[in-house]
Structures are given as C-alpha cells and as structure tokens.
Structure 1
C-alpha cells in the first residue's frame, strides 16, 4: 500500500487535538471510567468525552472556547467563561486517575503523559511514538489550529507508526523537517530508518542535508528552481552525488560529508 503523509491540518477546529487524532484519548477515557468513583456514580467512558452530552460543558459544548462570528472577518474564539477553557462540567472534573482529572491529563505534554501512564501499555506505546518523532513538547489536548504543518505531519506519521506493521508499504513525506530543531531531526531520521528496517520504502521530498546524506538513493531535480528546473540532474547514493559537478546539491553535499 501507499501512504502519503502531508502537512495539511489534523483538524480545522479547536475541538481536534493530538489525543483524539491518534486515538490515545479513547484509552484514557476508558481508564477514567474504571476508577472507583466513576463506577460508583455510574459514569462510562462517554462521560469523559467533550464531544457528547454528559460530562462536557454545555455552554461551549466541550470546545473550551466560544466562537464569535465576525461576518466579513475571520471568526474569533474566546475562552468559555463557564468552564474557563477546561471543556468539562464540575461533575466530570471530580473524577481523578491518580491525582489528575481529565482536563489536567489533556493539559499534559506528551513527555509528561508518557511518564504518568508508564504502566499502561496501550497508552504508553502511542505516546512513545509521538515522543520518538520529536513531539514530546506538545500537549495532548492542544488545539489542532495551533499546530504547524510540520507538527501535523509528524502526528500523522506517529499514528501510522503506532499501527501494526505489515511491511511492504510505501511512505511519501513532504519536507517533514520543517520547523524542527537539529536534535529532533535526528529523532525523525531514527523513525524513518526503523520503517525501512521493517521492509518498507520511504520517499522524502526534502532539502535538509542531514536527511539527504542519510538517504540510500537521491534524485536531484534542477538545475535551477521554478521554470528553470524540473529535470533530473543526478541520481545515486550520497557519495556518488557529491562527485557530480553538475549538481548544486552534490557540491554542498560534498562539504557536509567531509564534516
């Protein structure tokens, strides 16, 4: 099969977030429903969803924000004055897993949640993949509208990685290093290499030389950009491209390989 992982948003409203997109929130809600207090009150996992009636704040319908339509201008979102952005009503927030309620869990970063749910494999495994692709700093309940294209792409990548690997899959990624720190690029490369080691093929459209020098095979398009490009200038392994005097990429790659 072929999977294209682009930089389009994981959702178009503040209601979408990394926890819901990766499905890890389903397991978290189930966990809250298993607590003693939730059982005594007869709360099921749906009580901890901000998308349905029951545990959500009815003023903002679980969005945490209120939308103000500006007619000829973009809509404006303000924090809900009733739940103060917490999405849930008081009854739902009274249920705790360990010492955290459902809102406080959504307010955790991926790395914080990874430590918090260390003994819950179904949750831990999904969070670990998010951390492995360099997203340990984002919050589980962070609005999709505040995520960059690069972050959205890596959330999609982590979702694919958390599924059972069948091998023989072609992954296509468009500039996945956008906005990444050097250390996070290394993490991303480790994930991509792991995909290849499992029998998959990864095609990356990229200009980052840390990625280019790590490739098994490079196709250099050019010679210039825009209307003056579009031709295959050179192909081959990084070492072969570095010897090609017609390739601008190759000349810069030569310096990178020497370093």
Structure 2
C-alpha cells in the first residue's frame, strides 16, 4: 500500500494511492494514519479493502506528512561512510542517535522556511522508517515485524546551530519545516528490500547527492533493534536513517541554501519531494 494524508496543514485526512495512481479517501475507514492504525491488525484491515470502493479525491490536494501524531522523531547520523568522510568524522562503531522535534515535520512539497539567524541551511536525503507494532528489546531478525512502512525524508539541518552553538544536534535539526516526510508511506511488502534503494537530491536542478541504501553502515532492521535496547519504540514513531555524501557542508567551498532555491529529492519506490526555500 501507499498511504497518504491529504488536505490543509493540521486538518489532513487519511488516504491511499491505488495501483492506477488515483488518490482515494480513507476517512470513512480510519480517522488518521497514526497510532493503532499502524499496528498489524489496522494495516491488515486497510490492505483488505478494495481501493476502487473508496471515494476518489481531487489530486490537486496538498499531501501532508504520511503519518500523523508522531511522538518521537529519531535520527541516525553518519550512517554512510562517504558522508562521515566528507565531514571529517570517523565512521561510528555504533549508530549515532539524536532527535528532531516532531514540530519540524512538514509535507513533501511544503515551503522550507529559513529560520531566524540561519546562515548554514543544508539538505540531507534519507530513508525513514515508520514503526508499526511497538518494539522494546527485540532482536534484529524480528525488527521488520515492527515496521509499518518506509518514507522519504529530507533531514534539513542548520549547521551553525548544529555544530557551533554547543549542546546536542537537535538544535540544528528542529526548526519548522526541517522534517519533510512523504509524499507517501509505503508498506514493506510493496517496497521490497529497504537496503537496495537509490537516493538522490538536486538543488536548483544540479546534482548534489547520489547514493544507495546498500551502503548504509547500519541497516534499517539493525537500527530498529538497536534503538529498542534503549527505549520503547511506539506506533507512529519515525526514524530517519542517515544520508550519503553530497551535503552542502561537505562541498569545497561549502554551499548552503538561500531564499528562492529549489530542493528536489527522491528514493525509488518512495516518490519525490520538492521544497522552495523561503526567507522569513
């Protein structure tokens, strides 16, 4: 399945994209793509529906983040060796874990606002995991049973806030608009192997990032199992899994986003995003 949430920000309705690429309304079946709907029984009920029985929706509707009521937005840093190298860091022996504020989450095509005081606004194309059944202290071979699906993420980062202001990465990762997700949530049965996906990102039509999830240092399954050793992962939690080389901070000289820039990115099977950078 490809699940979506459509409509104005803050009042999105649940929906799906059928095999003919038609947007269908799920609001008669569930209240949101969130919480218990993402657990196995809820997802099985949605999978059993005949998409053609659901009302068609005008495709011009805005698509919001494909998951609602996200409790925890977790990120993994330096999960590609080439990205660690371009930042001058050693590849980590264990996943580097930090958080993004859930309030930063936006739709795949929403504007990307430049926060006040920003001087080093950067991009990161990433594969994101959405938790289905809660997970605590699980093994890696059980991890996929706890994943509701995957989506595309742009882990937008303000490098000066992140690295020059002390404290934790969360300060440079959490401004409004810094977490575009979607356009849709794709279930594991439809996506296939999450470690065989191509990632790409362009700025103003120019190539910045090209990579593949097969080069992740820590796989999606390993990350879920690893995090579950330290915390209870709950239904609807989102984990974004790191980015390949090509970020602005790694360029020589560094290049950062400015008002009017257009960022486009995608992962095969998970759709594409487009953000216009907007000064306050």
Is TM (by shorter chain) over 0.5?
Answer: no
Higher helix share: 1
Which TM bucket (shorter chain)?
A: under 0.3
Greater C-alpha radius of gyration: 1
Higher strand share: 2
Q: Which of structures 1 and 2 has the larger relative contact order (alpha carbons within 8 angstroms, sep 6+)? A: 2
